[in-house]
Structure 1
Amino acid sequence: MENLSENKMGFMPVGKLLVSMSVPIMISMIVQALYNVVDSIFVARISENALTAVSLAFPVQNLMMSIGVGTGVGINAVLSKSLGEKKYNEADKIAVNGIFLAFLSYLVFLVFGMSLVKAYFEAQTDNQEIIRYGISYLTTCCVASIGIFGQITFERLLQSTGKTFYTMLTQGTGAIINIILDPILIFGMFGAPRMGIQGAAVATVIGQIVAFLLAVSFNVRVNREISINMKGFKPDLNTVRKIYSVGIPSIIMLSITSVTTYCINSILMKFSSTATAVFGVYFKLQSFAFMPVFGLNNGMVPIISYNYGARNKERIIRTIRLSIQIAVSIMLLALVMIQVYPVLLLHMFNASEDMLVIGIPALRIISLSYVFAGFSVVAGSVFQAFGNGIMSMLVSVGRQLIVLVPAAYLLSLTGKVNMVWWAYPIAEVASLVISAAFLKVIYDTKIRTMEDNIDDEDFPGNAFQAAE
């Protein structure tokens, strides 16, 4: 294995480094957001009930992503820190144990897909067509979920060593394959069988499996800073503990979205299945705003973790400040687009008049939360980069379970579905306040004591507190 004297995360100018690390991931995640939207656009051509079924399936799909990404965050943070400390053997051990954890995660959803999907949909609706569509779609996604878990894990290994260009290739390839196969398998084009909604699921898992295999190939061929050798592997409980000390809070934090979405879907189904379909459309569209910010975070986390291991205060602060500025700019742009073009966006999903009546105010109200979201999303990843995933979890619990769901329920008692959407801006304001407070704590406990010639007022959390 080739041990480099210094990784680029320790010396490249911060602005250039953050761009080089983040932009490839941002591009690939925008492509992923595109295929999520395309997936629903084609499903909407089947029927509104098919679109509703996909919306109801989202909490389980998000749970798979949450476990995969949360575990990946743990792998990323501890592996990058080990590289920053020049502990290369420990980095190798983290990599192989991370792969083992990905396989265990797949087994859980394999069992769910084979035994519990029908009960899951029957708990949400008695519409037999929606249930039938949902079982067909979600069973396929769960049984073949080895692709998504493998893809996320091996992409995180590339990100941990700064090779984010390759993750752009893997994610982009998987997304493009999905986009191409969607209409072919859903509608039976070019001699392929007409599979309907199941075709959308098959297209998704094929794209994920191809991306997984490509990520494995890149790790073997170009990722020289870690060595992956599963021969004679035995799980190391101490390494697993390190990964999950960061990963479990992140998993819980991300999984809360599944719980929240399930609850909001249940609230909206009391109004109409159309309201639930609108909520599903919103989740597809909002990925265009959040995916680039998540891509930015994926580039930011290893930079902070590496320089935390190397005790470089100045580079840490500059990275955090620049990341917040970029994230807020992205979210403001997304806000403007949704406020100006809600009708055009809804028409992409074959929106009926009823869907437009509910959807236009829904998109405009929920997107107001973007004004605050950029700061909070970056702050959550900063906590993870310093190994304080519990803070991210607490922010997410506070935002979604303590504020969002109760607010949505109370607003639903007015009998007006448009009132329910206001729960999102309310929850995001709460998230902003908590995130700023925790960011100040991170500075005081992790960064302040480092020796460096940089003004403490330049740290975003301090500046926010001063403004208050």
Structure 2
Amino acid sequence: MHERSKLLADESIGKLLFKLSAPATVGMLVQALYNLVDTAFVGQALGENSIQAIGGISVAFPVMMIVMATALAIGIGGASMISRSLGERDMDRAENVMGNVLSMVLITSVLICVLGSIFITPVLQLFGATDTIMPYATDYLSIILYGSIFFMFALAMNNVVRSEGNANVAMYTMVISAIVNIILDPFFIFSSGYVEFTFFADKFGIVVQPLYVYGLGMGVKGAAIATVLAQTTGALFLIWYFASGSSTLRFHTRNLRPRWDIMKESISIGMGPLARNASSSLVVIVLNNILIAYGGGDVAIAVFGVVNRLFMFTFMPMYGIVQGLQPIVGFNYGARNFSRVMDSVKLSMLVTSTMSVAGFMLLIIFPEQLFSIFTSDQQLISSGKYATRIMVLALPLVGFQVVGASLYQAIGKARPSFLLAMSRQLLFLIPLVLILPHFFHLTGVWMAFPLSDGLSFMLTLVMVLREFRALSVMGENAS
């Protein structure tokens, strides 16, 4: 048995989860940080136009989420199959799956780039771009689309790397691309000259000396170029990893030939994360148009864009735990070690719930300071403070829900995975966003978030308890 497979089978759950999750969590945190920094630099550089610039990135971001959702659907579905194949010691099938993951990434990324470029204006209008936001959104998204192939490759293949238990490489990929993005951002976004990177320093009475920046002054376009170059760097690192022979899996050109059975199973398993991430984009369509209808305008759109970034920073560590959990669950489910599956899930739920509470405390105590990172506009800061403190009320429940949905992905049960992944956004949030503003106006939009989190938690609790009972029975039969 390969060394990594022995770890998945025999290492103590606590140590193994830490080994696999810590790198993923660090990588996800850094990834979320560079999304924050991207928007913060644009907001600081554009000054009096910061609301429109942040709004433009916020409107374009859901399109990136669709690209990400597609890549994750392919990568997570393939990773689940690879983990189970390694658990069953079927290396040939695992390598076949990896080849098909690559084929699907190449085909879908080209389609997204071409179709997205053709229909960029109506797509942005659909996502709620106003006349003042549209130029910034178009500048940003038109460049991002050209880099979609690198973005999708890095996301999908990172999941393949995790499926074989090599979490460190997956972390390095995200950290490298994030560092490149953060270094390039000031150069492409700001014009040459002295820049005061104050962010929220004035809120704490901190004196910050201006720094001289050699920059191209490209604003929103510069942010997009830096992002594409960063994603390309991450993709090149992964290509080097697989080409160097460091992976358990070997690449064979014959495995690029699409196999319908593999593609069908991979996509069906990946429909859960696809639904979750794509539904985020659908939420933006509904929510931005509701915000405009109820008089929120550019400010409310920018508020939601910033809160979305802050939520991502809070959720990313939980997804890091989940990414470490999935190969453990997938391998041991394939090896029919069901008690080990349940133990790893329980520990993960405890850890992510602790993270949820920490994120809740941070966002409810410091919303004003956090919004000051992105802008000095007092209207945007004040509106963001009010909205954030409503939206985070049920955040402590989210960690449990995230792990519950990932359990079904890891064991290859597509339907319950899809249901739990779509529950928060599609099943509960969108109907609440459509109903509550009729009674509470803009406040009703923000109220929809904690209510949907609570309902999704209850659904996840019922399904996970039922699955644990089934795993216990299978464990008794296996013994």
Preserved contact between residue 73 and residue 273 of structure 2 (Cα < 8 Å): yes
Partner residue, 1:422:
447
User: What amino acid is aligned across from residue 466 of structure 2 in structure 1?
Assistant: V
Residues 180-236 of structure 1: per-residue CA shift (max 9 Å, x gap): 111110114465532110111111111111001101211233544211122574211
Partner residue, 1:120:
123
Preserved contact between residue 358 and residue 418 of structure 1 (Cα < 8 Å): no
Query: Is it true that 1:330 corresponds to 2:355 in the alignment?
Result: yes
Partner residue, 1:33:
32
RMSD (Å) for aligned C-alpha atoms: 2.0
Partner residue, 1:390:
415
Query: Is it true that 1:368 corresponds to 2:368 in the alignment?
Result: no
Partner residue, 2:41:
42
Query: Is it true that 1:180 corresponds to 2:183 in the alignment?
Result: yes
Selected match of 1:281 from 306, 317, 321: 306
Q: CA deviation at 1:406?
A: 1.9
SS in 2 for 1:422: helix
Partner residue, 1:234:
257
1:5, 1:177 → 2: CA distance? 30
Partner residue, 1:105:
108
* 1:384-463 equivalences in 2 (<5 Å): 384-414=409-439, 416-451=441-476
Partner residue, 1:91:
94
Report the CA distance shift for 1:88/1:282 in structure 2 as closer, same or farther (over 3 A): same
1:282, 1:126 → 2: CA distance? 17
Q: CA deviation at 1:73?
A: 0.9
Partner residue, 1:257:
280
Selected match of 2:163 from 141, 160, 167: 160
Preserved contact between residue 68 and residue 102 of structure 1 (Cα < 8 Å): yes
Q: CA deviation at 1:153?
A: 2.0
Partner residue, 1:297:
322
- Gaps of at least 5 residues in structure 2 are 193-212
Preserved contact between residue 4 and residue 225 of structure 1 (Cα < 8 Å): no
SS in 1 for 2:36: helix
Query: Is it true that 1:197 corresponds to 2:200 in the alignment?
Result: no
Comparing 101-110 with 89-98, which one deviates more in the overlay?
A: 101-110
Partner residue, 1:13:
12
Preserved contact between residue 313 and residue 451 of structure 1 (Cα < 8 Å): no
Partner residue, 1:357:
382
Residues 246-286 of structure 1: per-residue CA shift (max 9 Å, x gap): 11333123211111122111111232210110000001111
Partner residue, 1:82:
85
Report the CA distance shift for 1:124/1:443 in structure 2 as closer, same or farther (over 3 A): closer
2:5, 2:214 → 1: CA distance? 54
Comparing 416-425 with 223-232, which one deviates more in the overlay?
A: 223-232
Residues 405-440 of structure 1: per-residue CA shift (max 9 Å, x gap): 221222212363223211011101110111112112
Q: CA deviation at 1:54?
A: 0.8
Partner residue, 2:195:
none
Selected match of 2:337 from 294, 312, 320: 312
Partner residue, 1:24:
23
Preserved contact between residue 272 and residue 417 of structure 2 (Cα < 8 Å): yes
Partner residue, 1:143:
146
User: What amino acid is aligned across from residue 227 of structure 1 in structure 2?
Assistant: R
User: What amino acid is aligned across from residue 206 of structure 1 in structure 2?
Assistant: L
1:249, 1:126 → 2: CA distance? 28
Following TM superposition, the consecutive aligned residue runs of length 4 or more in structure 1 with deviations greater than 4 angstroms are: 2-6, 189-192
Comparing 138-147 with 227-236, which one deviates more in the overlay?
A: 227-236
Partner residue, 1:60:
63
For normalisation by structure 2, the TM-score amounts to 0.90
1:121, 1:241 → 2: CA distance? 31
SS in 2 for 1:348: coil
Preserved contact between residue 62 and residue 255 of structure 1 (Cα < 8 Å): yes
Residues 44-64 of structure 1: per-residue CA shift (max 9 Å, x gap): 121210100111112111111
For normalisation by structure 1, the TM-score amounts to 0.92
Comparing 212-221 with 222-231, which one deviates more in the overlay?
A: 222-231
2:275, 2:75 → 1: CA distance? 13
1:256, 1:124 → 2: CA distance? 13
User: What amino acid is aligned across from residue 21 of structure 2 in structure 1?
Assistant: S
Report the CA distance shift for 1:7/1:188 in structure 2 as closer, same or farther (over 3 A): farther
2:405, 2:254 → 1: CA distance? 36
Q: CA deviation at 1:441?
A: 3.0
1:359, 1:91 → 2: CA distance? 47
2:12, 2:476 → 1: CA distance? 19
1:402, 1:225 → 2: CA distance? 40
Selected match of 1:208 from 218, 222, 231: 231
Partner residue, 2:207:
none
Residues 368-406 of structure 1: per-residue CA shift (max 9 Å, x gap): 121211100110000111111321321233322232122
Preserved contact between residue 154 and residue 216 of structure 1 (Cα < 8 Å): no
Preserved contact between residue 128 and residue 285 of structure 2 (Cα < 8 Å): no
User: What amino acid is aligned across from residue 67 of structure 1 in structure 2?
Assistant: T
User: What amino acid is aligned across from residue 332 of structure 1 in structure 2?
Assistant: V
Report the CA distance shift for 1:383/1:232 in structure 2 as closer, same or farther (over 3 A): closer
2:255, 2:298 → 1: CA distance? 52
1:431, 1:445 → 2: CA distance? 21
SS in 2 for 1:7: helix
Identity of matched residues, %: 28
2:275, 2:119 → 1: CA distance? 21
- Gaps of at least 5 residues in structure 1 are 455-468
1:107, 1:35 → 2: CA distance? 25
SS in 2 for 1:408: helix
Q: How many residues align?
A: 453
Preserved contact between residue 425 and residue 452 of structure 2 (Cα < 8 Å): yes
SS in 1 for 2:216: coil
2:246, 2:83 → 1: CA distance? 13
Partner residue, 2:132:
129
Partner residue, 2:248:
225
1:375, 1:58 → 2: CA distance? 26
Preserved contact between residue 59 and residue 129 of structure 2 (Cα < 8 Å): no
User: What amino acid is aligned across from residue 222 of structure 2 in structure 1?
Assistant: G
Q: CA deviation at 1:21?
A: 0.3
Comparing 414-423 with 431-440, which one deviates more in the overlay?
A: 414-423
1:313, 1:87 → 2: CA distance? 20
Preserved contact between residue 88 and residue 225 of structure 1 (Cα < 8 Å): no
